[in-house]
Amino acid sequence: MPQRSDSIWRLGFTTNRMLIGGIVIEVCLLILIYVLPLRFMFGLAPLAPIHWLLLLTFGPLLLLFEECRKALRRRGAVKSLHPIRAMQF
């Protein structure tokens, strides 16, 4: 059974079915935006290159921070980052 502190590199990217479903839905939305007849029908516009750059850098940074948090938790340096539990005395 996977633990919350297990690394995604050990678990694998395909073990989370909800994540895979979310990616499939996002790809369908991208197709909806970039297929010309649908774009005009719904009044949608593609993202500018600078927005793609922001999106492509945010994901890996979030993954890096989460893996660092999990590594600290596995080593016992961080017991809980839950805001309510952290305030309990």
Q: Do 68 and 60 form a contact (C-beta atoms < 8 A)?
A: no
CA-based end-to-end distance of the chain: 30
11 and 42: one domain?
Answer: yes
Which pLDDT score, from 0 to 100, does residue 2 have?
67
Which pLDDT score, from 0 to 100, does residue 22 have?
92
2 and 26: one domain?
Answer: yes
39 and 54: one domain?
Answer: no
C-alpha 38: how far from chain center:
27
Residue 27: domain span: 1-46
Reading the block at residue 58, the tokens are 């945010």
Distances in whole angstroms, Cα of residue 57 to Cα of each of 51, 54, 70: 10, 5, 20
pLDDT, block means (10 residues), the chain with 89 residues:
73 82 90 80 85 90 88 74 55
Which pLDDT score, from 0 to 100, does residue 81 have?
57
Which pLDDT score, from 0 to 100, does residue 66 have?
86
